[in-house]
Amino acid sequence: MRPKKHKTTGSNDLFRARLDQIINMKHELVLLAGKVDWDWIDGEIAPLYSENGRPGIETRFVIGLLLLKHIYGLSDEGVCERWVHDPYFQFFTGEEFFQHVFPHERSDLSHGRKRLGDKLELLLAESLRVAHEAGALRGQDLQRVTVDTTVQPKAITFPTDAKLLHAAINGLNRLARRHGVRLRQSYSRVAKAAAMMAGRYAHAKQFRRHQRQLRILRSRLGRIIRDIRRKIGGQPALEEAFALPLSRATQIRSQQQRQRGWKLYSFHAPEVECIGKGKASAPYEFGVRASIVTNNRRAPGGLFVLHAKAMPDNPYDGHTLRDVLDRTETLTGCSIERAYVDKGYRSHDTQNPRRVFISGQKRGVLGVIKRGLRRRSAIEPIIGHLKTERHLGRCYLKGRARDAANVILSAVGHNLYGVSPVKSS
């Protein structure tokens, strides 16, 4: 059911202190809370709720916590813990009196992210509107943009054959215990020892012994798969519960290190992709590709993220440029005059290729365009800030939808930090 609208009484309480009487009303978070159009956000999110059932949590509370999390680079548990003892956090989320206990559950943040889904782009548009209203971003700054891609790594260990086989054995054992399927043998201790020795032999370059340990892991995983299929045969409920884990385990058991085509890099996160960006420090990264768009010319408030989007299935950069520029124009409401990109966008498919300038291009590059190309590399520090100070550097959320949400919310946190520079403690 749609949550009730936030209302302030304006009255005093004999036993509780009003927040506006004990905090500095010129604090950055107080000023930022006054600039955000909470009523507009509430109206846009209202269709996501049903007409029946228990009323949901107030929109300002959930959205405010998500914004604070990404402004300060906190975890879900960290932002809930800090909310209890920080009156500015409470004021930002719409509280009128100081609260000594967190009024909801930490999992409400996860439910809020799941409910918002594609509507998270509204928060990015709102952050740009707030920046424009505060004078930190001008209309002329939106006409020339810089586009680049990066990798949002997933919170998984580096995938090796031994680690994946061991994870599949442990995962199937956990699932069997949960559903009461009694296996003939779990092979937990054998698999742990084999995975450990495989890593040691590989480090010592004793590859024949390393392959022997991998064969032990593969054979044990195959025994568990066949044992589970025998035990759940003829039970539709169990067959449905084990269908996806068994398919993942079968894929892990059959795939080879240097095979071509699709591979599974994590048993619990099958959406992870292997992306090579050509960096010496990290030849391969495991996560999802993300597209970032910033203003090329420095605005009074610095560089802002005009568009951010996760790109699953690892597409070629040039094939994504047209959609990225169209979505950026929709979010900003301003047509793009020029776009500056790196050499990874060659052979792009934009409607007007003359407005796209590629790094290293010589023909037709004079004056203002040359200076704009020189400023193209200014997007790299912004990506660095998104990775180190926000949550783009490591995604702990589950599924492709949460990957996309993490990219957008990291951009929103960066923009709001630029509007009102909040000093993290």
Domain boundary among 196, 223, 254: 254
Q: Around Cβ 48, how many Cβ atoms within 10 Å?
A: 13
- The single-letter code of the amino acid at 45 is I
Q: Indicate if 360 and 280 belong to the same structural domain.
A: yes
How far is Cα 149 from Cα 145, in angstroms, rounded to an integer? 14
- pLDDT on residue 14: 66
Domain of residue 46 covers 19-116
Residue 128 is assigned to a structural domain of this protein: yes
The CATH number covering residue 297 comes to 3.30.420
Q: Indicate if 283 and 318 belong to the same structural domain.
A: yes
Top-confidence residue, 52 or 200 = 200
Q: Indicate if 292 and 364 belong to the same structural domain.
A: yes
Q: Indicate if 148 and 287 belong to the same structural domain.
A: yes
Beta bridge partners of 294: 146, 305
Quick one: which of 26, 13, 117, 105 has its CA closest to 61?
A: 105
Residue 69 is assigned to a structural domain of this protein: yes
Residue 10 is assigned to a structural domain of this protein: no
Q: Indicate if 139 and 284 belong to the same structural domain.
A: yes
Domain boundary among 94, 116, 138: 116
Q: Mean pLDDT over all residues of the chain?
A: 91
Q: Indicate if 282 and 400 belong to the same structural domain.
A: yes
Q: Are 424 and 73 in contact (CB under 8 A)?
A: yes
- pLDDT on residue 361: 84
Report residue 339's pLDDT band, with 50, 70 and 90 as the boundaries.
very high
Q: Indicate if 286 and 412 belong to the same structural domain.
A: yes
Helices 236-254/161-178 angle, 10° precision? 170
Residue 1 is assigned to a structural domain of this protein: no
Residue 3 is assigned to a structural domain of this protein: no
Q: Are 198 and 179 in contact (CB under 8 A)?
A: no
pLDDT, average across residues 247-252 = 96
Structure tokens at 230: 């025998």
Residue 404 is assigned to a structural domain of this protein: yes
Q: Indicate if 100 and 141 belong to the same structural domain.
A: no
How far is Cα 405 from Cα 19, in angstroms, rounded to an integer? 31
Q: Indicate if 147 and 282 belong to the same structural domain.
A: yes
Report residue 388's pLDDT band, with 50, 70 and 90 as the boundaries.
very high
Q: Around Cβ 94, how many Cβ atoms within 10 Å?
A: 17
Range list of H helices, 233-313: 236-254
Q: What is the pLDDT of residues 199-244, one digit of tens each?
A: 999 999 999 999 999 999 999 999 999 999 999 999 999 999 999 9
Q: Indicate if 312 and 383 belong to the same structural domain.
A: yes
Q: Around Cβ 283, how many Cβ atoms within 10 Å?
A: 9
- Main-chain phi, psi angles of 357, to 5 degrees: -120, 130
Report residue 7's pLDDT band, with 50, 70 and 90 as the boundaries.
low
- Classified as helix, coil or strand, 24 is coil
- pLDDT on residue 425: 39
Residue 260 is assigned to a structural domain of this protein: no
How far is Cα 202 from Cα 194, in angstroms, rounded to an integer? 12
Strands (DSSP E) contained in 263-321 are 273-275, 285-295, 305-311
- pLDDT at position 423 over 60: no
Quick one: which of 140, 92, 150, 79 has its CA closest to 380?
A: 150
Q: Around Cβ 153, how many Cβ atoms within 10 Å?
A: 18
- The single-letter code of the amino acid at 333 is G
How far is Cα 64 from Cα 36, in angstroms, rounded to an integer? 10
Q: Are 322 and 349 in contact (CB under 8 A)?
A: yes
Q: What is the pLDDT of residues 16-25, one digit of tens each?
A: 778 988 899 9
Structure tokens at 98: 């100081």
Q: Indicate if 205 and 226 belong to the same structural domain.
A: yes
Beta bridge partners of 357: 340
DSSP 157-181: PPP-HHHHHHHHHHHHHHHHHHTT-
How far is Cα 267 from Cα 251, in angstroms, rounded to an integer? 10
- The single-letter code of the amino acid at 238 is L
pLDDT, average across residues 94-98 = 90
Q: Indicate if 209 and 222 belong to the same structural domain.
A: yes
Q: What is the pLDDT of residues 272-314, one digit of tens each?
A: 999 988 788 888 999 999 999 999 999 999 999 999 999 999 9
Q: What is the pLDDT of residues 345-379, one digit of tens each?
A: 988 888 887 789 999 888 777 888 989 999 999 99
Domain count, the chain: 3
Domain boundary among 254, 286, 304: 254
- pLDDT on residue 153: 95
The pTM (predicted TM-score) of the whole model is: 0.91
Structure tokens at 326: 């169209």
